[in-house]
Amino acid sequence: MSVPREAAPPRRGADRLQAPAKEETALLSPFAGLPLDRIHVPQSAAQCAAAAEAIMAAGVAGFDTEAKPTFAAGEASAGPHVLQFALADRAFVFQTQQGESLAALSMLLESPRLLKVGFGLQSDRSQIRSRLGLDLQALLDLDAVFRQLGYPKSMGVRAAVGATLGRRFHKSKRISTSNWAAARLDERQLLYAANDAYAALCVWRELQRSGRLVGGG
């Protein structure tokens, strides 16, 4: 995983570092995410088990979830419908509606030996407990890492990619609010889901490389 050495320079407010604005990251070169042929959607029990084995062997994975959006006031989310794990050279996108994936997800999510890194993971933790009855272990929320480094409360993947990797990370609102409960995800959904997790892994690796990972991760 090659990482550029130029990054959007941090700005300082009165007493804290400021995340790069959208206008600033828009001027950067695009983030090179994983291509479609490196994104796998395990279907059978055997495929799910093989994916879980590969992820566990890596020891650390970028992690995120997606859920079908709710639009009515007071409507509770039925998600997560998709859970994605990214490694240095590939990503795996699991659909929770497929019963074959549950054993693999249980092993991955509750394992203390697999570090799962991502952004804004507290809501994911509660949804996973509610929907799947699983407790997330070995979770590293990068928003908390950036707060310790002096950035605002919620950094987010777009600003973090700009600040650490010097790249523009585009998130499509149209795709983020698409039907993640669909039986078959389309190519745009797969690229969106996989690269959300992959970007988190890239940011974590750059923080680790540069010695900015508080507590060592």
The answer to whether position 203 is within a domain reads yes
**pLDDT for the residue 17:** 84
Among the ranges given (1-10, 137-146, 190-199, 202-211), the one the predictor scored with the smallest mean pLDDT: 1-10
- The boundaries of the domain holding residue 44 are 11-69+76-216
**pLDDT for the residue 41:** 98
The answer to whether position 60 is within a domain reads yes
Taking only the tens place, the pLDDT of each residue in 184-198 is 999 999 999 999 999
**pLDDT for the residue 8:** 58
Q: Cis check for the bond before 80: say yes or no (omega within 30 of 0).
A: yes
Beta strands in 115-178 (DSSP E): 115-118, 139-141, 167-168
Q: Look up residue 156 and give its two tokens.
A: 């987010």
d(CA 116, CA 213): 15
The answer to whether position 25 is within a domain reads yes
**pLDDT for the residue 111:** 98
The answer to whether position 142 is within a domain reads yes
List, as one string, the DSSP characters of 57-97: HHSEEEEEEE-----STTPPP----EEEEE-SS-EEEEETT
The answer to whether position 172 is within a domain reads yes
The answer to whether position 1 is within a domain reads no
Confidence band of 217 (pLDDT split at 50, 70, 90): low
Among the listed residues 141, 131, 139, the one whose alpha carbon sits nearest the alpha carbon of residue 94: 131
Question: What's the number of CA atoms in the CB half-sphere (13 Å) around residue 164?
Answer: 29
Read off the DSSP letter of residue 8.
P
Residues counted in the chain? 217
125: part of which helix (H) or strand (E)? helix 122-132
Region 113-127: mean pLDDT is: 92
Confidence band of 4 (pLDDT split at 50, 70, 90): very low
Taking only the tens place, the pLDDT of each residue in 129-150 is 999 999 999 999 999 999 999 9
pTM for this entry: 0.89
**pLDDT for the residue 11:** 56
CATH number at residue 127: 3.30.420.10
**pLDDT for the residue 134:** 94
Task: Name the CA radius of gyration of the chain, rounded.
Answer: 17
d(CA 160, CA 143): 9
**pLDDT for the residue 2:** 45
**How many domains would you assign to the chain?**
1
The answer to whether position 26 is within a domain reads yes
The answer to whether position 156 is within a domain reads yes
